[in-house]
Amino acid sequence: DAKTTQPNSMESNEEEPVHLPCNHSTISGTDYIHWYRQLPSQGPEYVIHGLTSNVNNRMASLAIAEDRKSSTLILHRATLRDAAVYYCILRDATGGFKTIFGAGTRLFVKA
């Protein structure tokens, strides 16, 4: 199964942009790239997903490399509420189940 690799932790200042990287060099052509985050004492929540093109939503942007072997989650202005563990995962678009969460990146936001 395809795996993702993320830094263990990152730090950001409040109201500055944050770029969270993810490597997925063994991604297959049918895999969607998903990002979830887990706030303290909560279950994970969906952030964004994409296949080939860059994506934007109200929470974040997702930049996908042309070869799809890496992606970057962009939080345009980090707030203290964005402090969480961010997971980059791959999901098979054909409906088959392939989801490995991994340890994620713990984001610290400084006021």
Partner 1 sequence: DADVTQTPRNRITKTGKRIMLECSQTKGHDRMYWYRQDPGLGLRLIYYSFDVKDINKGEISDGYSVSRQAQAKFSLSLESAIPNQTALYFCATSDLGESRHDEQFFGPGTRLTVL
Residue 86 is a binding residue for partner 1 (CB under 8 A): no
**Please, which residue, 94 or 111, has the CB nearer to partner 1?**
94
Number of other CB atoms surrounding residue 87 within 10 Å: 23
d(CA 108, CA 78): 10
Three-state DSSP class for residue 80: helix
d(CA 39, CA 45): 8
**Please, which residue, 13 or 29, has the CB nearer to partner 1?**
29
**Please, which residue, 11 or 16, has the CB nearer to partner 1?**
11
The interface mask with partner 1, positions 18-57, x = CB under 8 A, is: --------------x-x-x-----xxxxx--x--------
Residues in region 55-84 near partner 1 by CB under 8 A: none
Minimum distance from residue 77 beta carbon to partner 1 (Å) = 24
d(CA 28, CA 57): 24
